[in-house]
Structure 1
Amino acid sequence: MVKQNNNNDDGIELARKLAEEEEGIGRKPEDFTKYIIPTIAICWSLFQLAIARWLTLDSTYIRAIHLGFALMIVFLNYPFFKKPYFGLTFLAQTKKIPIMDFIIAIVASFSALYIAIDYMGMAQRYGSPIARDLIIGITLTVLLLEAARRVIGPALPVIAILFITYAFLGPHMPDVIAFKGVSLNRFVGQMTMSTEGIYGVPLDVSATIVFLFVLFGAMLDKAGGGKYFIQLALSLLGGFKGGPAKAAILGSGLTGMVSGSSIANIVTTGTFTIPMMKKVGYPPTKAAAVEVAASTDGQLAPPIMGAAAFIIAEYVNVPYIEVVKAAFVPAFASYAALFYITHIEASKLGLRGLPRTELPPFFKTLISGIHYLVPLTMLLYELVVVRHSPELAAFNAIWVMAFIMLLQHPVKAWQNNEPLKPAFITGIKDIVSALASGGRNMVSVALATAAAGIIVGVVALGLGGLITEVIDVLSGGNIYLMLVITAFASLMIGMGLPTTATYIVMASLTAPAIVSIGSMQDFIVPLMAAHLFCFYFGILADDTPPVGLAAYAAAAIAKSPPIATGIQGFMYDIRTAILPFMFIFNSDLILHNISSWPQGILIFVMACFGNFAFASATQGWFVAKNKVYEIPFFLSVTFMLMRPDQVAKWLNIPHDQRYWVYPMGLALFGILYIVQRTRSRSYA
């Protein structure tokens, strides 16, 4: 028993190390320098709070300072190598910060700030950089790519270098992909002297909006909100068939709303739910896969989605609430189908829920952490009802969260007749720690948006039209094949990139092409649908084997094979993968031009049933085990409930009466239920 507990502890520790790496904890200095990185991170958080409310600066200054902080933390926090190679131990030091990294950090930070330091001069000589501009611009580009390699891995820098190389060697390429090329002056001007490259829209969104939401998530987690959500989910759902799996989905959904990290989500919720899933009978691989699927999809859940969702709003040029509206039906239909899949798995395995005696009481649990719901409720109210800007909504939620963190320990101390002063000190320490965590957690997002800005900048140099032509040639002008190519490319690129970077790269390359090629075939694809398509497959890449880090973290906790866990998680996520293909062709699913509540609810309910049918087809089970000949009928139900427009067209039903296809789909689903129910009773 002791050995098993040690194994579990080792698995949880490995998962936490993966989460720490993603969240920006690299070195752990043991000398006085251990205070430097947290101090810089705290200053960064305070700066971001200041510009959100009272400090007014030009957006270019904000982007430069934001990137300067990120580069400073990266080079102080991450060694050149994670492990010593070729005996070069000084390049992999984790117990102290080498002098060389101090120098590189200062140079990198200065290079990022140069556009703010000499803002007026650079504005006057834009297009004709002097030697100093070229040297500092090249230095910034090189050090940014190196910083991205240290934090994110080699994939994004390699892709960026390929684009840079292509920009210079374009005239020497084969005719099909030949490009007029750029000069060094134009390249540096685009990348480091304007807001069309490194300092582009993605970095702006990172600096003005995403940081505040990441900080809010860090504060909620530090206050104990993550553990509260999973306890609440267990108290509510743990007693149902396969209850711990359903609790994992709800807990991960709640945590994922404010966490942009699948791995952090797994560590927060999975350490509780995966052992419980195994306890009621889920095999380790399936227990880990459920947590992977739930945590990955947490970034889809409105109204607080991943960092990329805010960039979508900027790219599509709509208020953020419009992105929330568009994402609502697909996201919650996906989550409903995951609940359904866990029920199917429990039915297959003959599982039950946990005894109520082993579960926390619901009302007592709800009341014990109801204060965590106050800032969340305020955030939702400001975003959805009052419709304040995302940054103002997040700022207001942060100060409410800080007030709660300051008072929650003194209130408990007062209730237990304990001294109040130490409790207040604990609250202050929690707030300071959360400010440091917020800065650390933002490093990967800031670096991903800045480095991806290089790719966006190269595309803006004139490659955009050429890329559309190349994609058109590759797909043969077929919108279906083009979507498959885009989805596959997103999954492949996303294996080595964070979700945000994957979305930026794919949206820059393919979103305009999807719209253009659709229009060539007299088919209108809303720009929002094209961007959400890239967003969804960027998220799905998180658990795509063989590199999906989310699967590795969950497998470490469950003691299951990582590759098998990733494959099983992806099999669960196929239900999510079909949704982008559906809403590209049926914009009703993203509520495009739909403002009626009854109509929206009808579309949502039918999308849920359509996803249930698809889950039954892919999981091989409905009421009983599927017969092979039943699978096409389940797929037909899926198509009828998600593409009533196409079925109506085939049946010559007017477009405005397309919803009459829904009863047909439900009737077929009902017949399948009766057939399998009858079969299961005859076997019994």
Structure 2
Amino acid sequence: MSESAGRVAGQPPEGRQRELLRKYSAETAYRTRLGKWGWITLAIGAVLTIFQLYTAFRGPYPSLIQGAFHLGTALGLIFLLYPARKAWADRAGVPFYDAVLAVAAMGCNYYIVFNYEYLVTEAIVFGFTTVDVLIASAGIILVLEATRRCIGLPIVLIAVAALLYGLFGPYIPIFAHAGFSWPRLSTNIFYSSAAIFGTPIQVSSTFIYLFLFFGVVLMKTRIGQFFTDLAFGATGRFTGGTAKAAVTASGLQGMVSGSSVANTVTSGAFTIPMMKRAGFRPEFAAASEASASTGGQIMPPLMGAAAFIMAEYTGVPYNEIIIIAFIPAVLYFSGVFMGVHFTAKREGILGLPREQLPALAGLLKRIDLLLPLAVIIGLLLAGRTPSSAALYGIGTALALSFLRRDTRLSPKELLKLLEDGARTALPVIAACASAGIVVGIVTTTGLGAIVAGGLLELALGQFFLLMFFTMIACIILGMGLPTTANYVVTATIAAPALLEFGVPVIAAHFFVFYFGIVADITPPVCLAAYAGAGLAGANPLKSGVNAVKLAIAAFIIPYIFVTNPMLLLVDAEPFPLALAIVTALVGMGAISAGVVGYFVRRANFLERLLLVAAGLMLVYPEIFVSLPGLALMVAVGVFQYVRGRVGKEPAAS
């Protein structure tokens, strides 16, 4: 942001940001006083990033080798960087036992790298040895402990429950199965490409890591700051400009950030104080930032890490996923943007003076900083692989950074950049590995089909009830699991139930994907809203409630594209699709006005209900439903205008 905008922001000190990240996100609770160990973590992180860049350039190794080196190196870093307890993060150095665990974790995975031919030939034919079983057992335990350290306990408990289910299947009263011995179960989980080294880790070791590193490059070279400046320059002067700029900036930042909490804290450090100064209530400022930051994971072209896994699960190429995701993302951010607008109108909050905003003329001189993003989008749309697009995007960003003094990195900073790329990817890698354990058990035991049948039975064969129960399951899992792990689990267990009703594959997967993401702003465990509230000095629960109001589109749109997948470009024709988009955008405006309580003027309870009803009718992509909704919305607006003229209330400008 410009210096003037930065001064208005009153950005909290870096220590405060780190404290909030540590409190609400286990991903950032790493050691701060590594001492000489810092050189070791720097070297390991650099090796991992260079390995990913090299294999992106020359092509990946066989999936087990690629995944084992990727995971093993990451686990070694996790044990060196993350203490066994968050409270120990400020202790100096690395304890001896953590160094041993790091070596053991790397060794278990490198065993696969160096014994690949034996493991995929002789061991499968003649059986695994006792040593193989011991290494597999240790590898599984170390994956779970590393995940606990950098993500948290919930996903570990789910993985452990899955393992126990696989072992003691015959003794479980519901969903019983034949059961497996530990030697068979452990080797199947650790040495096959159907569990730990299944699709999530395969995608992480090829696509996800590169895009996360691309985001790090943009942030560290300060090219990413241009997004924030551009957002404030474009929207800051309008009604409620600070909040509108926050929504726009967070959406842009979110395209290259996979974490709702991290994006909330980093962007919110600027935007939340500015919103408070403009007159927004603290809980609303926190909610605006949290809802926009969370939406970044559904914003093409980069989206969150789970989108890459979705491409593999659905068989839809990623360059098509980003096109399919565009309309729902526009609807989501339009809903948040309009919610901010109506709130600002209700509270009488204006924009910032021009002198406090980045000059658009100056921003246009730096418009070339958007080139890395343009390169990625262009290559993806041209049909290039995601890894190739990310590699060229990284190269473009680094090349651009050397053209200006304020974006140029020194050799030391370039080396640190490699480590920072690894650090950013660690939570995603751990989540993919642990989620892979669950997926391995689900596919091995047939649990997925059983649970899908159970959901259908619970819903009494009613499609709407099935969608509702699936939504609740996704949100509950999302309260303890990161988005990537949540999507992997729900896509394996819940999505098949939707397919039983003939829902298109892409629509079913987008449904669970969306609701897994909005768990970050859904009370009572709304981590992104809690992080925003920490910056705003607001009540966390009230911030979460406000975030849900602003992001109400995310709770409505999935139902629409499941019942009518045209919004996901399934069997879409130009005119009906264009009409559906227009009516949906108008509908989001009506819903936002009803939820906020302001349209032409302040709305009473009945007017709010009518606006929400009109919005729901407009969002539904069927003209015979949308037209009455439009009429109802116009009627409410006319009535408010007339009521205001009679009562001599000032109308909204």
* Shorter-chain TM band: over 0.9
Match in the other structure for 1:204:
202
Cα distance in 2 between the residues matched to 1:541 and 1:346: 26
Written as runs of structure 1 = structure 2, the 5 A alignment for 1:95-244 is 95-124=92-121, 125-126=123-124, 128-174=127-173, 176-244=174-242
Identity of aligned residues (%): 37
2:539 to 549, 552, 561: 561
Task: State the shift of 1:166 in Å.
Answer: 1.3
Task: State the shift of 1:389 in Å.
Answer: 0.9
Describe the superposition over 1:36-65 as per-residue Cα deviations: whole angstroms up to 9, x where unpaired.
112211111111000001255212211111
2:16 to 4, 14, 18: 14
Match in the other structure for 2:314:
316
TM-score by length of 2: 0.93
Equivalent position amino acid for 1:16 in 2? R
| Residue segments in structure 2 that go unaligned for 5+ positions in a row | 1-6
Describe the superposition over 1:300-341 as per-residue Cα deviations: whole angstroms up to 9, x where unpaired.
111211000111110001111221222111111110111110
Match in the other structure for 1:446:
429
Check conservation: 1:334, 1:608, Cα contact below 8 A: no
2:615 is the alignment partner of 1:638: yes
Match in the other structure for 1:665:
629
Match in the other structure for 2:4:
none
Cα distance in 1 between the residues matched to 2:26 and 2:301: 23
Check conservation: 1:333, 1:608, Cα contact below 8 A: yes
Cα distance in 2 between the residues matched to 1:482 and 1:661: 23
Task: State the shift of 1:113 in Å.
Answer: 2.3
Task: State the shift of 1:479 in Å.
Answer: 2.1
Task: State the shift of 1:625 in Å.
Answer: 2.5
Shift in alpha-carbon separation, 1:82–1:502, aligned structure 2, 3 A: same
Written as runs of structure 1 = structure 2, the 5 A alignment for 1:396-411 is 396-409=392-405
Task: State the shift of 1:488 in Å.
Answer: 1.4
Check conservation: 1:285, 1:565, Cα contact below 8 A: yes
DSSP-derived class of the 1:303 partner = coil
2:40 to 11, 36, 42: 36
DSSP-derived class of the 1:126 partner = helix
Cα distance in 2 between the residues matched to 1:291 and 1:542: 12
Match in the other structure for 1:478:
462
DSSP-derived class of the 2:300 partner = coil
Check conservation: 1:8, 1:557, Cα contact below 8 A: no
2:296 is the alignment partner of 1:298: yes
Cα distance in 2 between the residues matched to 1:37 and 1:376: 30
Match in the other structure for 2:554:
576
DSSP-derived class of the 1:446 partner = helix
Cα distance in 2 between the residues matched to 1:460 and 1:540: 27
Check conservation: 2:199, 2:309, Cα contact below 8 A: yes
Cα distance in 1 between the residues matched to 2:114 and 2:616: 57
1:273 to 249, 271, 274: 271
Cα distance in 2 between the residues matched to 1:574 and 1:493: 19
Match in the other structure for 2:420:
437
Task: State the shift of 1:344 in Å.
Answer: 0.7
Check conservation: 1:213, 1:394, Cα contact below 8 A: yes
Check conservation: 1:258, 1:305, Cα contact below 8 A: yes
1:335 to 328, 333, 336: 333
Check conservation: 2:600, 2:640, Cα contact below 8 A: yes
Check conservation: 1:468, 1:512, Cα contact below 8 A: yes
Task: State the shift of 1:273 in Å.
Answer: 1.4
Check conservation: 1:70, 1:443, Cα contact below 8 A: yes
Cα distance in 1 between the residues matched to 2:576 and 2:47: 48
Shift in alpha-carbon separation, 1:309–1:622, aligned structure 2, 3 A: same
Shift in alpha-carbon separation, 1:581–1:539, aligned structure 2, 3 A: same
Task: State the shift of 1:240 in Å.
Answer: 0.5
Cα distance in 1 between the residues matched to 2:286 and 2:105: 40
2:509 is the alignment partner of 1:531: yes
Cα distance in 2 between the residues matched to 1:571 and 1:327: 22
Cα distance in 2 between the residues matched to 1:355 and 1:304: 33
* Residue range with higher mean Cα deviation, 256-265 or 216-225: 256-265
Match in the other structure for 1:428:
411
Task: State the shift of 1:30 in Å.
Answer: 4.7
Match in the other structure for 2:353:
355
Match in the other structure for 2:592:
615
Cα distance in 2 between the residues matched to 1:163 and 1:245: 43
Equivalent position amino acid for 2:62 in 1? D
Equivalent position amino acid for 1:13 in 2? G
Shift in alpha-carbon separation, 1:246–1:218, aligned structure 2, 3 A: same
Equivalent position amino acid for 1:431 in 2? L
Cα distance in 2 between the residues matched to 1:601 and 1:11: 46
Check conservation: 1:115, 1:192, Cα contact below 8 A: no
Task: State the shift of 1:580 in Å.
Answer: 0.8
Shift in alpha-carbon separation, 1:427–1:172, aligned structure 2, 3 A: same
Describe the superposition over 1:508-528 as per-residue Cα deviations: whole angstroms up to 9, x where unpaired.
110111111x1xxxxx21111
Describe the superposition over 1:607-650 as per-residue Cα deviations: whole angstroms up to 9, x where unpaired.
211222222222222222323333443343233323244xxxxx
Match in the other structure for 2:486:
502
Shift in alpha-carbon separation, 1:628–1:56, aligned structure 2, 3 A: closer
Task: State the shift of 1:363 in Å.
Answer: 1.6
Task: State the shift of 1:447 in Å.
Answer: 0.4
Task: State the shift of 1:140 in Å.
Answer: 0.7
DSSP-derived class of the 1:240 partner = coil
* Residue range with higher mean Cα deviation, 339-348 or 431-440: 431-440
Match in the other structure for 1:82:
86
Cα distance in 1 between the residues matched to 2:553 and 2:70: 38
Task: State the shift of 1:172 in Å.
Answer: 1.2
Shift in alpha-carbon separation, 1:126–1:678, aligned structure 2, 3 A: farther
Describe the superposition over 1:430-452 as per-residue Cα deviations: whole angstroms up to 9, x where unpaired.
33222211110000000000100
TM-score by length of 1: 0.89
1:63 to 60, 67, 75: 67
* Residue range with higher mean Cα deviation, 193-202 or 220-229: 220-229
Equivalences, count = 636
Task: State the shift of 1:599 in Å.
Answer: 4.2
DSSP-derived class of the 1:206 partner = helix
Equivalent position amino acid for 1:540 in 2? V
Cα distance in 2 between the residues matched to 1:112 and 1:607: 49
Shift in alpha-carbon separation, 1:77–1:258, aligned structure 2, 3 A: same
2:77 is the alignment partner of 1:94: no
Query: What is the RMSD computed on CA atoms of the aligned residues?
Result: 2.1
Check conservation: 1:405, 1:430, Cα contact below 8 A: no
Task: State the shift of 1:504 in Å.
Answer: 0.8
Shift in alpha-carbon separation, 1:135–1:430, aligned structure 2, 3 A: same
Cα distance in 1 between the residues matched to 2:187 and 2:634: 63
Cα distance in 2 between the residues matched to 1:449 and 1:595: 37
Cα distance in 2 between the residues matched to 1:80 and 1:473: 42
Cα distance in 1 between the residues matched to 2:490 and 2:469: 11
Describe the superposition over 1:15-53 as per-residue Cα deviations: whole angstroms up to 9, x where unpaired.
333446655561123532121112211111111000001
2:3 is the alignment partner of 1:26: no
